[in-house]
C-alpha cells in the first residue's frame, strides 16, 4: 500500500477557518478564475480570495503544511497554468490605495490596477510610471520590471518602487526596502513571485500632468514605407522620446475603432516628455511618411496614457511570444513583413517592436533583478486563438520569434514571458542574477511553497 500524499489529507474546513476571505473548491460557484488570457488552464486545489495580508500568510502556511504550492492571480494578464497541487491566491479584492501628494507616492494593495492609480494621482498633478494597458495589475507588472510608454524617457517602472510588504515562501509577512531586507527588495523587482507574494507596495509618483503622445495609424498599403521609415527614425530619436510600432489585424468587434477594425494597419506610438513644439518636430518624419487613417498624437492628460497603445481590455484566448533585440536593423523589418506583412495570411493579430535604450539602459539608483538593460528593442507578437486562426497562430508566433535569430540573443523580459518553462524563465536573467535569485528562493522559501508558475528555481 502506498502512503497517502499530504494533499489527500488537506482539510478545506481548516483552511476556511484560517481565512477571512472566501475559499472556493472546484464545485463552488466562485472557483473559476477568468483572467485576460482565457486560453490558460487553471485548476487549483482551491482558490482563495485574499482579504488581507493575513489571508496570504494563512494560505502560504496551509500550503506548506500540506505539501502544496501557491500561485497568485491579480488580473490574469500574465496567467500561467495552475494544477491541483496548488492553491491559487486571488489578490483582486485587495484594492486599497493611498496617495501622499507631499511625498509623491502611492501605497497600493496587491489587487490594484494601474487605472486606479492614474485616477487617484491625477487630481494632484501626479502620475505613476504605468505600462501600456491601465487594466494590468500594478504588482504583477512591477515584479516583472515593467516597460511602459515612457520607458526611455523615465526608465524601468520597478526602479520607482520604494518599498514592499511581502509574504515570503516561509509564510512570514515582512517589509522590504533598500535599507530593510535589501536582498528581498532587490529580487522582488524583476523576480516575479520567486521570493514572495507582495501584499502592498509604495511607488513613486511623477509630477507629469500632461504629455505629448498618441498613435498614428496607417493603411496596410503603406506598411512597408512606414515600417522602414520608423526603423531609420529610431536611430535619431532623443532619449526623452518613446516609440513603438505595431502591425495589427484587429477584429471587427465592439470597442475597436471603426477605421481600424477588420483590416491590417500599422500603428506608430509616440510619447515625449518635452515641449509640444519640440515633440512635434521630432515626430515630423513619421507624419511625412504617409497619410495616416487616424492620428491621435497631441497633448493629452497623463491619465489618458492608455490611449497611446489602446490595448484590448476584454478577456480573450491568446498565444504570445516575446524576445529582446540587440540589433534593430533593416533585416528586422524584412522579417516582420515576411511573417506579418499585409499580404501574408496570418493568425498574428499584433506584432510590435518597442524601442528601448534611454533611461532604461542606465543603471538604476538601487540595483534590482531586472536584466538585459542593454537591449535596443523588444519584439512582441500576439496570436488570437479565434476559430479560423487557432491552428496556425502558435506556430506563427514561434516562427516570427525564431526569425529574429540574427538580431537577438534570445534574451527575454519577465513581463512578456508568462510561462513555467525554466528555459523561458532563464532567458529573462543573466547567469549571476539567476543563481542569486535561486539562492534567495531557497533561503526565503525552504519548503518550495512558491515553486509554481513563473518563478526562478
Ligand atoms: C494587454 C497587455 C498589455 C501589457 N502591457 C505591458 C507593458 O506595457 N509593459 C510591461 O512591462 N508589461 C506589459 N504587459 C505584461 C504584464 O505586465 C504582465 O503580464 C504582468 O505579469 C501582469 O500582471 P497582473 O498582476 O496584471 O497579471 P496576473 O496574471 O494576475 O499575474 C501575473 C504574474 O505576476 C506576478 N504577480 C502578480 N501578483 C503578484 C503578487 N502580489 N506578488 C508577487 N507576484 C505577483 C506572478 O508571477 C503572477 O503569475 C501587458 C500584458 C497585457 C496582456
- Provide the domain count of the chain: 3
Assigned domain for 373 exists: yes
Q: 69-73 and 86-90 as β-strands: parallel, antiparallel, unpaired?
A: parallel
Average pLDDT score over residue span 421-443: 97
On whether both 119 and 226 belong to a single domain, the answer is no
Assigned domain for 411 exists: yes
Ligand 1: does its nearest atom lie under 6 Å from the Cβ of 111?
A: no
Q: Tell me, in angstroms, the distance from the centre of ligand 1 to residue 415's CA.
A: 6
Residue entry with cell 505539501: 67
The domain that holds 175 is classified in CATH as 3.30.465.10
Residue 431 C-alpha cell reads as 547567469
Q: Report how far Cα 113 is from the mean position of its chain's Cα atoms.
A: 12
On whether both 243 and 377 belong to a single domain, the answer is yes
Burial annotation 249-282 (CB, 10 A radius, 16+ → b, else e): bbeeeeeeeeebeeebbbbbbbbbbbeeeebbeb
Q: Tell me, in angstroms, the distance from the centre of ligand 1 to residue 411's CA.
A: 18
Assigned domain for 40 exists: yes
Ligand 1: does its nearest atom lie under 6 Å from the Cβ of 141?
A: yes
Average pLDDT score over residue span 399-413: 98
Which atom of ligand 1 is nearest to 133's Cα?
A: 3
**Mind listing the pLDDT tens digit for each residue in 261-276?**
889 999 999 999 999 9
On whether both 389 and 405 belong to a single domain, the answer is yes
Ligand 1: does its nearest atom lie under 6 Å from the Cβ of 198?
A: yes
- CA 201/CA 451 separation, integer angstroms: 22
- CA 183/CA 164 separation, integer angstroms: 12
Q: Report how far Cα 231 is from the mean position of its chain's Cα atoms.
A: 24
In the structure, what pLDDT confidence band is assigned to residue 239 with cuts at 50, 70 and 90? very high
Mean pLDDT of all residues in the chain? 95
Assigned domain for 454 exists: no
Q: Tell me, in angstroms, the distance from the centre of ligand 1 to residue 82's CA.
A: 16
Extended beta strands in 296-447, E state: 298-301, 318-325, 348-355, 377-384
**Mind listing the pLDDT tens digit for each residue in 131-159?**
999 999 999 999 999 999 999 999 999 99
Is the pLDDT confidence value at 207 over 90?
Answer: yes
In the structure, what pLDDT confidence band is assigned to residue 389 with cuts at 50, 70 and 90? low
Give percent of the chain above pLDDT 70.
Answer: 98
On whether both 151 and 57 belong to a single domain, the answer is no
On whether both 129 and 67 belong to a single domain, the answer is no
Q: Tell me, in angstroms, the distance from the centre of ligand 1 to residue 145's CA.
A: 10
Which H or E run contains 175? Answer: strand 173-176
Ligand 1: does its nearest atom lie under 6 Å from the Cβ of 73?
A: yes
Residue that is last in its domain, among 39, 63, 90? 90
Assigned domain for 452 exists: no
Helices first, then strands: H and E counts in the chain: 13, 17
Residue whose CA lies nearest to ligand 1 atom number 14: 415
- The parent domain of residue 242 ranges over 210-416
Assigned domain for 203 exists: yes
Ligand 1: does its nearest atom lie under 6 Å from the Cβ of 303?
A: no
Ligand 1: does its nearest atom lie under 6 Å from the Cβ of 418?
A: yes
On whether both 257 and 391 belong to a single domain, the answer is yes
On whether both 239 and 177 belong to a single domain, the answer is no
Assigned domain for 457 exists: no
The domain that holds 24 is classified in CATH as 3.30.43.10
Residue that is last in its domain, among 55, 90, 125? 90
Average pLDDT score over residue span 227-236: 98
On whether both 233 and 104 belong to a single domain, the answer is no
Ligand 1: does its nearest atom lie under 6 Å from the Cβ of 193?
A: yes
- CA 23/CA 175 separation, integer angstroms: 26
Is the pLDDT confidence value at 316 over 90?
Answer: no
On whether both 382 and 259 belong to a single domain, the answer is yes
Residue whose CA lies nearest to ligand 1 atom number 51: 77
Residue that is last in its domain, among 66, 90, 114? 90
In the structure, what pLDDT confidence band is assigned to residue 6 with cuts at 50, 70 and 90? confident
Residue 250 pLDDT: 85
Which spans in 247-383 are helix H? 276-287, 306-309, 330-340
On whether both 80 and 124 belong to a single domain, the answer is no
Is the pLDDT confidence value at 3 over 70?
Answer: no
Please tell me whether residue 379 adopts helix, strand or coil conformation: strand
Assigned domain for 181 exists: yes
On whether both 144 and 169 belong to a single domain, the answer is yes
**Mind listing the pLDDT tens digit for each residue in 280-313?**
999 999 999 999 999 999 999 999 999 999 988 8
Closest C-alpha to 189, from 149, 229, 157, 226: 157
Ligand 1: does its nearest atom lie under 6 Å from the Cβ of 197?
A: yes
Which atom of ligand 1 is nearest to 354's Cα?
A: 8
On whether both 325 and 242 belong to a single domain, the answer is yes
- CA 382/CA 399 separation, integer angstroms: 12
Amino acid at each position: 500500500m502506498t502512503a497517502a500524499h499530504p494533499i489527500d489529507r488537506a482539510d478545506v474546513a481548516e483552511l476556511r477557518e484560517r481565512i477571512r476571505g472566501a475559499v472556493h473548491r472546484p464545485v463552488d460557484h466562485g472557483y473559476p478564475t477568468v483572467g485576460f488570457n482565457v486560453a490558460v488552464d487553471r485548476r487549483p486545489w482551491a482558490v482563495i480570495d485574499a482579504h488581507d495580508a493575513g489571508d496570504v500568510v494563512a494560505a502560504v502556511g496551509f500550503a506548506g503544511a500540506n505539501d502544496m504550492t501557491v500561485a497568485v492571480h491579480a488580473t490574469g494578464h500574465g496567467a500561467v497554468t495552475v494544477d491541483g497541487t496548488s492553491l491559487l491566491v486571488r489578490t483582486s479584492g485587495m484594492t486599497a490605495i493611498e496617495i501622499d501628494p507631499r511625498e509623491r507616492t502611492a501605497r497600493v494593495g496587491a489587487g490594484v490596477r494601474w487605472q486606479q492609480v492614474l485616477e487617484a494621482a491625477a487630481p494632484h498633478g501626479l502620475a505613476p510610471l504605468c505600462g501600456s494597458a491601465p487594466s494590468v495589475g500594478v504588482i504583477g507588472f512591477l515584479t516583472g520590471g515593467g516597460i511602459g510608454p515612457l520607458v526611455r524617457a523615465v526608465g524601468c517602472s520597478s526602479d520607482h518602487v520604494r518599498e514592499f510588504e511581502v509574504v515570503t515562501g516561509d509564510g512570514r509577512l515582512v517589509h522590504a526596502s533598500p535599507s530593510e531586507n535589501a536582498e528581498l527588495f532587490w529580487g522582488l523587482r524583476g523576480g516575479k513571485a520567486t521570493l514572495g507574494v507582495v501584499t502592498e507596495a509604495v511607488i513613486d509618483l511623477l509630477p507629469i500632468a500632461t504629455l505629448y503622445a498618441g498613435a498614428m495609424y496607417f493603411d496596410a498599403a503603406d506598411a512597408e514605407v512606414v515600417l522602414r521609415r520608423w526603423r531609420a527614425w529610431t536611430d535619431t530619436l532623443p532619449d526623452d522620446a518613446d516609440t513603438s510600432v505595431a502591425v495589427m489585424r484587429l477584429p471587427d468587434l465592439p470597442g475597436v475603432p471603426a477605421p481600424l477594425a477588420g483590416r491590417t494597419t500599422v500603428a506608430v506610438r509616440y510619447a515625449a516628455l518635452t515641449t509640444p513644439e519640440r515633440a512635434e518636430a521630432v515626430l515630423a518624419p513619421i507624419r511625412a511618411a504617409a497619410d495616416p487613417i487616424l492620428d491621435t498624437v497631441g497633448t493629452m492628460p497623463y491619465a489618458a496614457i492608455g490611449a497611446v497603445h489602446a490595448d484590448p481590455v476584454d478577456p480573450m484566448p491568446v498565444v504570445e511570444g516575446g524576445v529582446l533585440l540587440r540589433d534593430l536593423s533593416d533585416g528586422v523589418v524584412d522579417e516582420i513583413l515576411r511573417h506579418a506583412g499585409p499580404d501574408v495570411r496570418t493568425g498574428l493579430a499584433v506584432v510590435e517592436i518597442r524601442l528601448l535604450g534611454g533611461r532604461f539602459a542606465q543603471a538604476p539608483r538601487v540595483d534590482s533583478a531586472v536584466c538585459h538593460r542593454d537591449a535596443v528593442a523588444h519584439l512582441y507578437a500576439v496570436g488570437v486563438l479565434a476559430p479560423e486562426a487557432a491552428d496556425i497562430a502558435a506556430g506563427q508566433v514561434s516562427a516570427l520569434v525564431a526569425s529574429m535569430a540574427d538580431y537577438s540573443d534570445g534574451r527575454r523580459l519577465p513581463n512578456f514571458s508568462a510561462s513555467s518553462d525554466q528555459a523561458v524563465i532563464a532567458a529573462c536573467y543573466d547567469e549571476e542574477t539567476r543563481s542569486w535569485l535561486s539562492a534567495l528562493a531557497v533561503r526565503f522559501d525552504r519548503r518550495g511553497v512558491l515553486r509554481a508558475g513563473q518563478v526562478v528555481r
